[in-house]
Each structure stands twice: as structure tokens, then as C-alpha cells.
Structure 1
Amino acid sequence: MKPTSDTIELTIPAKAEYIGVVRLTASGVANRMGYPYDAIEDIKVAISEAITNAVNHAYSEDEEGEVAVRFQLLPDRLEIMVADKGRSFNVNAILEEMKPLDASASLEELSEGGLGLFLIDTLMDQVTFNNDSGIAVIMTKFLQRDEVELHADRIKQSYDRPVGR
């Protein structure tokens, strides 16, 4: 595929029934860029988790909210931003709670909080958070596995990166 820098943006209501629309878009975009099947599935799960977090936590039950999704198609990677303008959360506290799962722990012992973020981090090559106004999760999946090593600082918090909404 010829190098590109296209951008695709979607804005959906903050409702679970619209997650499938974004998953289909992600699948089509990643397939067009040449990602293998397993990577496309990882992207779909990660984007589902990010949107589910926004749907479940950003807005109160009686509040009508939106979730903005931006796909940035770059020659060596796909960057996906999922952003809401709802309630923010303490990113540092969540990141400290995220740790590898203990395989010997029972299901009752596993903490539910942060599992979605743990999945996103596990499935994507790089994850960045911005919580200036609401929350934006920027997830990166590189086309070539060797690109991951060049960007080994996987999860980080970003306050200085502008986020388009």
C-alpha cells in the first residue's frame, strides 16, 4: 500500500448499540492497511473496550453524551483516538492499579476496575491518555512488529498533545 496519512472521524452517541459500527469501521480500515487477521481482532477488541469505558463511565444515566473516534492512517501504523467530554478520572491511579494478572488467582479475586485498560494495553503497541476535558485514549498499532521496539514506552499519560474532538 502506498504511504498515506488519511484521517477518518466518527462521532457516535454514547450508547452500547453503536460500538459495532465503530468495530466494523476499524476492521475495514485495518484490513485496507494490510494488517493480519489477529491484529485486526486485537484492534477491534481494544476499540470496543475504550468505547465501552466511555459509554459506562463518562456520562450519567440521564445525560446524552457522544464519543468521538478518529482513525489516523499513517505509513507505519494506525492511531485510533477514542474521546469523550464526560467525567474524567484519575489516570495515574488507574495506571498504578494495572498490573499483570495473577494466573493462580480465582475469578472472585480479580479486580474489575481497570481490566478494560489492561486489555487495551495488552492488545495495542502504544497507549496514551489525555484527560484535559473528559478522557481521550490514543491507541497505536504498528504494521511491522519491529516498530514496537522503537516505541517501547507503551503506556504514558499526555497533557501536552492536542486532541481534536
Structure 2
Amino acid sequence: MSQHECDQITMSLPAKPEYVGVVRLTVSGIANRIGFSYDEIEDMKIAVAEACTNVVTHAYEGEGKMNVSFSVQHDRLEVAVADKGQSFNLSDLKDHLKPVDADQPVAELKEGGLGLFLINTLMDKVEISNQAGVILVMTKFLHRDEVEQHVDRINTTQPGQ
């Protein structure tokens, strides 16, 4: 995959608790495929499930949809979770995103705000848009270079030297 090329996977699911697990399995499968560690995948599953649970719990009075988009980049996985039934193109959305402010007092956050703190802790970058519903974009960077450098060091070091 070239630096500017990415794979996009999109899902539209009923905003019901029984579908949160489907999204967790999907993020796990995609993250595993592109080389994230077990711990990183577990963190992503928790963060994405928390974002989906916020949609299920707070977004609708009755029936509704949650739209989830996965953008597989050469160095990261971006996961966007949207409510209010809007489908979206992640690249078009980028201009409207703002970072989640982890220093904002809990009382000033919208309902489910504690979940944003958890998501912010588990992911490398978290952005939000409140235009016509809420869209939360969570990014986890792939640190392949660190692993490769570490592996090289182990392979070239001889015992007793």
C-alpha cells in the first residue's frame, strides 16, 4: 500500500447493544491483519466499543443507526463512529474535526464524557465533530519501525560480548 493509498471499510448497524460486539470483532480483525500487537488490539477494541456504546446509550430516543468507518493507512488505523444516521466520507470530514480536550472538566462534557477520557487514554489521537450528530475519530499508529529496530538489535547482539 503506497503512502497516499488506503483501504476503507464502512459499516452501518442498528444502534443496539447486541451490535457493539460486531464492531469489536471487526476492529480486531482489521488491526490484526495490519500488524498491531495483542495489547494494542485490546486497547482499540475497548475504545471502539466505548464509542459505540455511547451511540447506543445517548444518540437516539428510539431506533437509530451507527455508522462506523475504518481507514487502513500505511502507518495507522483510523476508526470513525457516527450517530444520527449520517453516513460520511472520512477524508471529507477532516476539516470539521477538533481534538478531544482531556483537560475539560467532566461536568462540561456531554453525557458519556467519561468514556471520552477512556478513549483518549487508549488511542493515540482522538478527534470529534458535533455537526449534525456526533462523529468520533480514533487513531492508533502502527509502530513497526520500533519493533524492527528492536528485533535487529536482538539478532546482532552475541551473548558474552
TM-score under structure 2 length normalisation = 0.72
Matched to 2:129, the amino acid is N
After TM superposition, the structure 1 = structure 2 runs for residues 6-45 of structure 1, keeping only pairs within 5 Å, are: 6-45=7-46
Q: Which has the higher helix share?
A: 2
* Inter-partner Cα distance in structure 2 for 1:117 and 1:92: 8
Runs of 4+ in structure 1 off by over 4 angstroms are 91-95
Whole-angstrom CA distance in 1 between matches of 2:116 and 2:28: 20
Who is 1:161 aligned against? none
Unaligned stretches of 5+ in structure 2? Answer: 86-98, 147-161
- Percent sequence identity over aligned pairs: 56
1:128 aligns with 2:130: no
Instruction: Judge conservation of contact 1:97–1:114 (CA < 8 Å) in 2.
Output: no
Paired residue secondary structure (2:104): helix
Cα 1:146–1:128 shift into 2, 3 Å: farther
Distance 1:85 1:122 in 2: 25
> By how many angstroms is 1:67 displaced?
0.2
- Partner of 1:49: helix, strand, or coil? helix
Per the alignment, residue 75 of structure 1 pairs with 74
Which residue pairs with 1:58 in the alignment?
A: 59
Checking the alignment, whether the CA contact within 8 Å between 1:94 and 1:114 is kept in structure 2 is: no
The separation in 2 between residues aligned to 1:139 and 1:43, in whole angstroms, is 9
Note closer, same or farther for the CA distance 1:23–1:16 as it changes in structure 2 (3 Å cut): same
Counterparts in 2 of 1:7 and 1:92: CA distance versus 1, 3 Å: closer
The whole-number CA distance in structure 2 between the counterparts of 1:34 and 1:83 is 26
Normalised TM-score (structure 1) = 0.70
- Residue 18 of structure 1 aligns to which amino acid in structure 2? Y
Answer yes or no: is 1:96 the counterpart of 2:95: no
Distance 1:56 1:32, change over 3 A: same
- Gap runs ≥5 in structure 1: 99-111, 148-165
What is the number of residues matched between the two proteins? 128
The change in CA–CA distance for 1:92 and 1:74 in structure 2 (over 3 A counts) is closer
Contact 2:102 2:117 in 1 (8 A): no
User: 2: CA distance between counterparts of 1:56 and 1:94?
Assistant: 21
For the pair shown, which has the larger CA radius of gyration, 1 or 2?
2
Where does residue 46 of structure 1 map in the other structure?
47
Seen in structure 2, the aligned counterparts of structure 1 residues 146 and 125 have a Cα distance that, compared at 3 Å, is: farther
Looking at structure 2, the residues matched to 36 and 94 of structure 1 have their Cα atoms a distance apart, in angstroms, of: 25
- Cα RMSD of the aligned pairs, angstroms, is 2.7
